[in-house]
Amino acid sequence: MPCLFRHPVRAIVCVIFAAGLTVARGAESVPSLAIRGAVVHTMAGPAITDGVVLIEDGKIKAVGPAADVAIPAGTRTLQAAVVTPGLIDAHTAVGLTGWINQPQDQDQLDPTEPVQPELRAIDSYNPRERLIEWVRGFGVTTLHTGHAPGALVSGQTMIVKTTGDSVEAAVLRPTAMVAVTLGDDARPGGADAEKKSPGTRSKAVAMLRSELVKAGEYARRREAGGGEPPDRDLRRDVLADVLARKLPLLVTVNRATDIDAALRIAAEFDIRIVIDSGAEAYLCLDRLKAAGVPVILHPSMRRAGMGETENISFETAAKLRAAGIPFALQSGFEGYVPKTRVALFEAAIAAANGLTTEEALAAITSDAAAILGIADRVGTIRPGLDGDVALFDGDPFEYTTHCTGVVIDGRVVSSDKR
Sequential DSSP letters for 191-217? TTGGGSS--SHHHHHHHHHHHHHHHHH
Q: How far is CA 130 from CA 58, 94, 99, 199, 355, in A?
A: 24, 9, 7, 37, 32
pTM: 0.92
Average pLDDT, the chain: 91
> What mean pLDDT do residues 234-251 have?
98
pLDDT (tens digit per residue) in 360-382: 999 999 999 999 999 999 999 99
Query: From CA 132, how far away is CA 179, in angstroms rounded?
Result: 21
Name which of 7-16, 86-95, 140-149, 398-407 the model is least confident about.
7-16
Asked if 132 and 162 count as a contact pair (C-beta separation under 8 A), the reply is: yes
Q: In one letter, which amino acid is 293?
A: V
pLDDT band at 14 (very low <50, low <70, confident <90, very high): very low
φ, ψ for residue 377 (rounded to 5)? -120, -45
pLDDT score at 1: 38
H or E stretch covering 357 = helix 357-362
Q: What is the pLDDT of residue 413?
A: 96
Cis peptide before 117 (omega within 30 of 0): no
Residue 90's pLDDT band (cuts 50, 70, 90): very high
Do 142 and 161 contact (CB within 8 A), yes or no? yes
Give the closest residue to 373 by CA, choosing from 215, 239, 245, 221.
245
Average pLDDT, stretch 117-135?
Answer: 96
Give pLDDT, residue 226: 73
What pLDDT, on the 0 to 100 scale, is given for residue 19? 32
Provide mean pLDDT across the span 48-64. Answer: 98
52 pLDDT above the threshold of 60? yes
Type and span of the H or E element at 269: helix 256-269
Can you give the pLDDT at residue 18? 34
Cβ atoms of 70 and 406 within 8 Å: the answer is no
Q: Residue 139: its pLDDT value, please?
A: 98
pLDDT reported for residue 13: 32
* Beta-bridge partners for 107: none
- Of 6, 87, 14, residue with least CA distance to 49: 6
pLDDT at 189: 75
Q: What is the mean pLDDT of residues 220-241?
A: 91
Secondary structure (3-state) at 118: coil
- Would you state the pLDDT for residue 193? 67
Greatest alpha-carbon pair distance for the chain in Å reads 75
> Inter-axis angle of helices 256-269 and 201-224, to 10 degrees?
20
The CA–CA distances, whole Å, from 351 to 285, 325, 340, 403 equal: 20, 17, 20, 18
The answer on pLDDT for 17 being more than 60 is no
Question: In whole angstroms, how far apart are CA 12 and each of 18, 42, 107, 112, 206?
Answer: 9, 19, 40, 52, 58
| Nearest C-alpha neighbor of 407 from the set 162, 69, 113 | 162
pLDDT at 12 over 60: no
Domains defined for the chain, CATH in brackets: 15-85+381-414 (2.30.40.10), 88-372 (3.20.20.140)
Q: In three state form, how does the secondary structure of 127-147 look? A: CCCHHHHHHHCCCEEEEEEEC
User: ∠ CA 335-341-344 to the nearest 5 degrees?
Assistant: 160
What average pLDDT does the segment 208-236 reach? 93
Among 176-185, 338-347, 358-367, the range scoring the smallest mean pLDDT is: 338-347
Question: What percentage of the chain has pLDDT greater than the value 70?
Answer: 91
Q: What is the SS3 assignment for 364?
A: coil
Q: What is the pLDDT of residues 385-417, one digit of tens each?
A: 999 999 999 999 999 999 999 999 999 999 988
pLDDT(334) > 90: no
First to last CA, the chain: 21
Nearest to 376 by CA among 364, 366, 389: 366
- Neighbouring CB atoms inside 10 A of 290's CB total 10
Residue 97 has phi, psi (to 5 degrees) of -100, 145
